[in-house]
Chain A
Amino acid sequence: MERTFHGEIYLTQYLDTQGTLVQPLPENPQLAERLRDCYRNMVLARALDTKAIALQRTGQMGTYASMLGAEAIDVTIGLCMQPSDVLVPYYRNHASQHIRGAAMEDLLLYWGGDERGNANPAMNQDFPNCVPIATQALHACGVASAMKIRGEKRCALTVCGDGGTSKGDFMEALNVAGAWQLPIVFVVNNNQWAISVPRAIQCGAPTLAQKAFSAGIRGEQVDGNDAIAMHEVLSRALERAREGKGPTLIEALSYRLSDHTTADDATRYRDNEELKAAWEREPIKRLQTFLHQQGWWDEAQEKAWQSEVALMVQGAVERYLSTDPQPVESMFDHLYEEMPSSVQEQRDWAQVKAMKGGSHHES
C-alpha cells in the first residue's frame, strides 16, 4: 500500500507556564519593545474586561462576553495585523478591535445595546462582532477573495472558538480557502469550552488544527497563553498570507477563565479545581514574569501603567455612560440606501408613539 498523505501538527511555545523560556527567543531587534507593547495592551484588555463585567453587574450594560484568559491571543492579533488587513472577529475580540481603532466606549456601546458601537469610521473595513457562530469565517473568505482578485498585498484574519469549528460554515470556509489559496489566517481560540460543552465532546479529532488537512491548508497549534509564541506564529502566518503563500489555520490552546457570558454560571458544569489549575497557566502573569526576568519591565513601570490604564478605562466608561440613546427613528434610517415609502410611514408612526402622550413615550 502506498501512503498518499501524511500530516503533522506542531505546537509552538516559547514560555512555559512558569514564564521560563523553553527555546531561543525569535530573532527581532525590536522584540523587547514589542513584548512590552503586548504586555501593556494585555493589562489594558483585562482592566477593560473587568470593568465591563462590573458594568453589567450593576445594570449599566447588557449581557457581556468576557475575554478573561484570551489576552495573549487577542492582543497579538491586534498588534501583528497591519492597518490594511481586515479583521473578521467573533464576539471575544475586544482587545484586537480596540488596538485596531475601535474606541473602548464603542465596545461598551455595542454590549450596551447601541448599534453605533459598530459604526466608528476608525474601524475601517473590519467587520463588527459576529454572534451567529462561525458565519464570520465565510465573510473573511469573501474579503480575502476580493483581495486576491484585485492582487493586493493584504490579508484577512478571522477568529472563532473551539465550538465554532464544528459548524458547516467553518468547514466550508476552510475548504474554499484551500481550494482558492486565499490570503487568510484562521485563528481558533480553543478555550476548551463552548458554553457548557467541553472540547472533548465537541470534536473527535485530537487537534482542531488538523481540520486544515481536510482543506489542504497549513495547520498548527500554539500555546495561546504564551504571548511570544502567539506573536511569532501570527506574524509568520499573516506574512505568508499577504505574500500569496496561502492560508493558515492556527489553533491557540487556551482556557476560558470566565463564564461564557455574564448571564452564564460555569460552576454549574465546570470543576473548580480545573479552573484553579488553569489560572496557573494564565497569559498575563506568564509574560510579566518573563519580562521581569529579562529586565524589560519593572515595578515602577507596572505601577505607572496601572494608573494610566485605570484612567483610560474610567474615561471610556464615562463617555459610554454619558452617551444618550439613539433617537427612535434610527431604527429605520439604515435599512436601505434610500428609505422606501412604506418604511417612511412606519418611521413617522414610531416618532409619534415616542412623543409625550404616545404609547411608547419614555419618561
Chain B
Amino acid sequence: MKYFKLPDLGEGLPEADILEWHIQEGDQVTTDQVLVSVETAKAIIEIPSPQDGEIAHLFGQAGDTIHTGEPLIEFANEEQEDTGTVVGEISAAEPGTSKDSFIIGAAPSSRNHQQVQATPAVRALAQRLQVDLNSISGTGQSGHITPDDVQKAADMNRLHGPVEPLKGVRKQMARTMSQSHAEVVPVTLFEDADLHSWPADSDITMRLIQAIAYACAEVPILNSWFDGQSMALRQHEATHLGVAVDTDKGLFVPVLRDIGTRTTDDLRTGLECLRTDVRNRTIPASELQGATITLSNFGTLAGRYATPIIVPPQVAILGAGVVREHPVAVNGQLEIHRLMPLSLTFDHRVATGGEAARFLAALIKQLEQPFDEQL
C-alpha cells in the first residue's frame, strides 16, 4: 500500500496523539517493525508496520493529534491501492492476455448457407409422414415447402419406395454434369490408335498419360480453362491431368500434377498414391482440384467409343476404350492389330475442329510409337 492510515484503535477511540516516531523519512522498514508510539485517552499504543518498505513521508510530528483513517505514513515506490470503483467490487483479470477474435457481421458459412424453408407446421407434418425435407423441392412462393409438397412426396414414397437424396460425390457429379450440359458445347472425335508396335509389357495408362502431355504441348489450346461468363481463356503452362477413378461410392477424379515434366516412374508412383487414397477415402479435397484436362480410361472395364463429358472450366476430355484385336488393311493385306479406341470431346466454344483434330493426331502419333520417346 502507498498510504498507511491509522487503524481503528478500538473502544470508540477515534484519535490519538503522536508521542514519538521510531523511524525517519528515508528509512527501510520491515513488517511488524514499530513505527510510532501514540497515546490515546486510555493507553500508549505502539503501531507496527503493515509491510516492508521505504518511508517516503511521515504525516505529523510528536504532539500532533491524528484520527482513525487519517494517513500516517507514505511508503515510497508504491502504487496507491485502488478499488477502481465507488461501490461494490470489480473483479480483476487473471494474468495473461488474449487476442480478440471476431467476424464483423455474419460468418462465411452463414452467408453461403441454403436452408430448407418450411413452416414449423410443415416440418411437423414431414416428420409424421417420414418425409425427408431435404429430398423435395418446394412449390410455395420463394421456393418454400408446402403441406401439399410433403403430401405428394409421402404418396410417392408409398407407391414407389422411399427416395434417398444424393450425397457426397454422387451429388457433386450430378451437379457438375448438369452444369457441363448447360454450358459446354461438346463435339466428340472418334479414332483408333494402332498399338501393334508396342512391346508386350507396355503400361497402357502411362503411355496414355505421356501421349496426352505431348499432345497438350503441340496444341495447348486444349489444355486451358474457359470462363463462359466473361468469355475469357486461361492457358496453362503445365498440364495437370484429372484421372477418372471409379469406386462404389461414385466417381473421383484425382489430379496428377505436371505430367509434362515428370519421369514415368514418378508418374506411376504418384498415380498409385492417388488411387490408394481414393480407395481408402483419405484423399484430401485439394488433390481433387485444379485439373487442366481429364482422362477417362474406361477401357479397363468395357466400351469402345463414348462421348465423355467435359468438366468446366476445362475444355477437353479424352476417353480410352477397351483395347481389342481388329482386322486392319495394311498395304492391301489383311492383318490383325491391337487397336485402342479413343474419344476426344472438346468444347467447340473454345477449340476448332482443326485444333481438336491436330491434338488427336499428335496424341495418336505419340501413342503409336513402340516406346515413349520424345518425337
Binding site for B on A (CB under 8 A): 43, 46-47, 50, 53-54, 62-63, 68, 195, 257-261, 263-265, 267-268, 272, 275-276, 279-280, 282, 284-285, 306, 309-310
A279 adjacent to B86 (CB under 8 Å): no
B80 adjacent to A268 (CB under 8 Å): yes
Q: How far is the CB of B87 from chain A (nearest CB, A)?
A: 4
Q: How far is the CB of A227 from chain B (nearest CB, A)?
A: 16
A309 adjacent to B12 (CB under 8 Å): yes
Q: Would you call B59 an interface residue if the criterion is a C-beta within 8 Å of the partner chain's C-beta atoms?
A: yes
B86 adjacent to A260 (CB under 8 Å): yes
Q: How far is the CB of B193 from chain A (nearest CB, A)?
A: 75
B70 adjacent to A63 (CB under 8 Å): no
B69 to A, closest residue via Cβ: A258
Q: Assuming A264-B83, A310-B12, what are 8 further A-B pairs, CB within 8 angstroms?
A: A46-B14, A68-B69, A257-B69, A263-B83, A263-B85, A263-B89, A264-B86, A309-B12
B15 adjacent to A62 (CB under 8 Å): no
Please report which residues of chain B, range 114-130, place their CB below 8 angstroms from some CB of chain A when the two chains form the complex.
Answer: none
Q: How far is the CB of A316 from chain B (nearest CB, A)?
A: 15
Q: A-facing mask of B8-22, CB < 8 A → 1, else 0?
A: 100110110000000
Q: A-facing mask of B107-149, CB < 8 A → 1, else 0?
A: 0000000000000000000000000000000000000000000
> Which of A258, A259, A261 has the most chain B CB atoms closer than 10 A to its own CB?
A261
Q: Tell me, in angstroms, the Cα distance from A43 to B85 when the chains sit together.
A: 30
Q: Would you call B100 an interface residue if the criterion is a C-beta within 8 Å of the partner chain's C-beta atoms?
A: no
B89 to A, closest residue via Cβ: A263
**Top 6 A-B pairs, shortest CB-CB distance:** A63-B87, A263-B83, A279-B67, A263-B85, A306-B12, A264-B86
- Chain A residues with CB under 8 A of B8: 50, 53-54
B70 adjacent to A276 (CB under 8 Å): yes
A275 adjacent to B82 (CB under 8 Å): no
A264 to B, closest residue via Cβ: B86
Pull 9 A–B residue pairs with CB atoms less than 8 Å apart, ordered by A: A50-B8, A63-B87, A63-B88, A263-B85, A272-B70, A272-B71, A276-B70, A279-B67, A309-B12
A279 adjacent to B88 (CB under 8 Å): no
B87 to A, closest residue via Cβ: A63
Given contacts A50-B14, A285-B15, contact A263 B68 (CB under 8 A): no
Given contacts A258-B69, A260-B86, contact A265 B81 (CB under 8 A): yes
A259 to B, closest residue via Cβ: B69
A50 adjacent to B68 (CB under 8 Å): yes
Q: Would you call B157 an interface residue if the criterion is a C-beta within 8 Å of the partner chain's C-beta atoms?
A: no
Q: A-facing mask of B82-100, CB < 8 A → 1, else 0?
A: 1101111100000000000
- Chain B residues with CB under 8 A of A264: 83, 86
- Chain B residues with CB under 8 A of A43: 12
Q: Would you call B190 an interface residue if the criterion is a C-beta within 8 Å of the partner chain's C-beta atoms?
A: no
- Chain B residues with CB under 8 A of A260: 86
- Chain B residues with CB under 8 A of A54: 8
A195's partner among B70, B81, B86 (CB-CB below 8 A) is B86
- Chain A residues with CB under 8 A of B83: 263-265
A272 adjacent to B87 (CB under 8 Å): no
Given contacts A268-B80, A272-B59, A310-B11, contact A261 B87 (CB under 8 A): yes
B84 to A, closest residue via Cβ: A263
Q: How far is the CB of A274 from chain B (nearest CB, A)?
A: 11
Q: Would you call B65 an interface residue if the criterion is a C-beta within 8 Å of the partner chain's C-beta atoms?
A: yes
Please report which residues of chain B, range 140-198, place their CB below 8 angstroms from some CB of chain A when the two chains form the complex.
Answer: none
Q: Would you call B226 an interface residue if the criterion is a C-beta within 8 Å of the partner chain's C-beta atoms?
A: no
B3's partner among A261, A267, A276, A285 (CB-CB below 8 A) is A267
Q: A-facing mask of B47-89, CB < 8 A → 1, else 0?
A: 0000000000001100011111111000000001111011111
- Chain B residues with CB under 8 A of A306: 11-12
- Chain B residues with CB under 8 A of A275: 70
- Chain A residues with CB under 8 A of B59: 272, 276
- Chain B residues with CB under 8 A of A268: 80, 82
Q: A-facing mask of B222-249, CB < 8 A → 1, else 0?
A: 0000000000000000000000000000
- Chain A residues with CB under 8 A of B70: 272, 275-276, 279
A263 adjacent to B80 (CB under 8 Å): no
Q: Tell me, in angstroms, the Cα distance from A29 to B267 when the chains sit together.
A: 120
Q: How far is the CB of B17 from chain A (nearest CB, A)?
A: 12
- Chain A residues with CB under 8 A of B80: 265, 267-268
Q: Tell me, in angstroms, the Cα distance from A290 to B3 when the chains sit together.
A: 34
- Chain B residues with CB under 8 A of A257: 67, 69
B87's partner among A68, A263, A279, A285 (CB-CB below 8 A) is A263
Q: Tell me, in angstroms, the Cα distance from A54 to B7 when the chains sit together.
A: 10
Q: Tell me, in angstroms, the Cα distance from A43 to B11 when the chains sit together.
A: 11
A65 to B, closest residue via Cβ: B87
- Chain A residues with CB under 8 A of B86: 63, 195, 260-261, 263-264
A284 to B, closest residue via Cβ: B14
Q: How far is the CB of A129 from chain B (nearest CB, A)?
A: 13
Q: Tell me, in angstroms, the Cα distance from A213 to B86 when the chains sit together.
A: 34
A275 to B, closest residue via Cβ: B70
